[in-house]
Structure 1
Amino acid sequence: MTDLFTTNFEKYSDTAMYDQLNEHSKIEIPILLQWIKKENQLLELACGTGRLTIPLAEKGYNVTGVDLHEGMLKKAKEKAAKKEVAIPFYLQDCTQLSFPNQFECLFMVGNSFQHFLTNQSQDALLASVSKHLTNNGLFIFDTRNPILAELSKPDHYVTEFQDYRGYDVKEHHLETYEDGDQLLRCHTNRKYFKNGEYLHSEQDSILLRYTYPLEMARLLASHGFKIEKRYGNWKGDDVSTNAPQMIFICRK
């Protein structure tokens, strides 16, 4: 893949930090379980450190994970081994999946769809998904809802927490949206302290693509997908203009 996705990895360099901030959340599982079956062959795209792949396998689902980040996959394999669950994990580009078989369901959560930054990469992703999905199979994914009242002005905010090493962390975040390319540019300056003493600083950035509802509907239809259900969040609420997310249940 030739767009910026392959260099958009700064946020994921510390897999232990990623797990500390994200591992506890399994909010997607109830809705996923409404749509998938235990006899299905499942493929999780952008599976990361196995946050959902592993608990689904523990419940008896036949699930495979794929990601483009070697460090995240290494962490996923370590966690699966500790849980004593056998999960095939593969290092692959989601826009160029290469499996000999098709799957009854592909899913991609955590707003990973926003990592596909160009029209070309979105098209390549959906073509790859369609190729590896059985007829009548499901593609389930989420993305943040572009709420213009929030995106139209720069957002600066501070978060503070203690990390897995016992360091006190203070993060300054700056987010700016460029409507011309529909990209949110997120920059974080992170300072570390121990017992009140400053240790060092780090910085990282990430780009996230926003896709509008009608744009998404046309995009999915052009790749042979029918939207069966949309949710506004993983609690199952209806989509609205102010809903934080758009969750799509699509059938090929």
Structure 2
Amino acid sequence: MSYEGFAYIYDHLMEDVPYDGWVDFLRTHGERYGNGGNRVLDIACGTGEISLKLIESGYDVTGVDLSSDMLMVAREKAERRGVALPLFNQDMAALDGLGSYDVVTIFCDSLNYLETEENVKDTFKSVHAHLEQDGVFLFDVHSLFKMDEIFMESSFTLTDEEVSYIWESFKGEYPHSVEHELTFFVRQEATGLYERVEELHKQRTYPVERYCAWLKEAGFIVKEITADYRDGSPTEDSERIFFTCVKNTEA
């Protein structure tokens, strides 16, 4: 997906998202299982918010995203803050020529935007090829519970002076998938009038066991599976599942 016009209002809508939770997750699990290096490849980096927070925490970060609009916003933010953030416009399922890293991340349920099982498998293989031996792969996905119970046939609204939206979710084409129809009304600074922006976002998730099988097939050892930014195994009503994996030195 490209995010198109959505890229320019994304940060405003995501102000309350717990980015620090992902940064803390990387720090604790990277130290627990990593090789001691600090080179991070932040896949699906979006507008760069997590990448920039990681740089401020002392990591050497490279960002990748499929959306050129998102990368443009990320580049502008990095320039304003005076930090170096290399950015590449690539598909996570077909990364090429980016070197090797100590940690690779796919946060903010970005993996759920991949449409097919083959896309997920190819992404895991692509990540494996860009990790140092004993490197750590960290990612999160929506749980079956969140996809099937919370999102399904739900509506969410926000009324704000700058941006308002209507967000409606419907059952998708595949099992455990959902389609989000988003209609935004964005205030134009020059005129004070509101511009209407429409987006269709599709997400799909899988049982934990399927992810584990694909990770093993790609050459990873799954070290931990946790939920909702906390230690401890997922429960039936967990909403966000976190995976901590290490590149198998024997693969």
Q: 2:179 aligns with which of 179, 185, 198?
A: 185
In structure 1, distance between residues paired with 2:29 and 2:157: 36
1:92-103 equivalence runs, <5 A:
92-99=90-97, 101-103=99-101
2:245 is the counterpart of 1:230: no
In structure 2, distance between residues paired with 1:82 and 1:211: 39
Structure-2-length-normalised TM-score:
0.85
Do the aligned partners of residues 206 and 103 (structure 1) sit closer, same or farther apart at CA in structure 2, a change above 3 Å counting?
A: same
Do the aligned partners of residues 222 and 149 (structure 1) sit closer, same or farther apart at CA in structure 2, a change above 3 Å counting?
A: closer
Following superposition, the deviation at residue 110 of structure 1 comes to 0.4
Do the aligned partners of residues 93 and 200 (structure 1) sit closer, same or farther apart at CA in structure 2, a change above 3 Å counting?
A: closer
2:119 is the counterpart of 1:126: no
Q: Give a deviation string over 1:163-212, Cα, whole Å, max 9, x none.
A: xxx4462x333212247444211112345689xx9955432211101111
Match of 2:8 in 1: 16
What do you get for the CA RMSD once the two structures are aligned?
A: 2.6
Following superposition, the deviation at residue 66 of structure 1 comes to 0.8
> Which ranges of structure 1 fall in alignment gaps of 5 or more residues?
1-7
Amino acid at match of 2:22: E
In structure 2, distance between residues paired with 1:18 and 1:238: 31
Following superposition, the deviation at residue 134 of structure 1 comes to 1.4
Match of 2:246 in 1: 251
1:18-37 equivalence runs, <5 A:
18-24=10-16, 25-26=18-19, 27-36=21-30
Say which is worse superposed, 208-217 or 180-189, in terms of deviation: 180-189
Structure-1-length-normalised TM-score:
0.84
In structure 2, distance between residues paired with 1:249 and 1:218: 14
Match of 1:67 in 2: 65
Do the aligned partners of residues 152 and 240 (structure 1) sit closer, same or farther apart at CA in structure 2, a change above 3 Å counting?
A: closer
1:76-225 equivalence runs, <5 A:
76-99=74-97, 101-147=99-145, 150-151=148-149, 154-162=152-160, 166-167=161-162, 169=164, 171-178=165-172, 180-191=174-185, 199=194, 201-225=196-220
Say which is worse superposed, 174-183 or 78-87, in terms of deviation: 174-183
In structure 2, distance between residues paired with 1:149 and 1:54: 29
Secondary structure of 2:222's counterpart equals: strand
Match of 1:239 in 2: 234
Following superposition, the deviation at residue 149 of structure 1 comes to 8.8
Equivalent pair of 2:62/2:86 in contact (CA under 8 Å): yes
Amino acid at match of 1:185: E
Following superposition, the deviation at residue 152 of structure 1 comes to 9.1
> Which ranges of structure 2 fall in alignment gaps of 5 or more residues?
none
In structure 1, distance between residues paired with 2:186 and 2:98: 46
In structure 1, distance between residues paired with 2:194 and 2:78: 33
Identity %: 22
Do the aligned partners of residues 156 and 224 (structure 1) sit closer, same or farther apart at CA in structure 2, a change above 3 Å counting?
A: same
Do the aligned partners of residues 153 and 139 (structure 1) sit closer, same or farther apart at CA in structure 2, a change above 3 Å counting?
A: closer
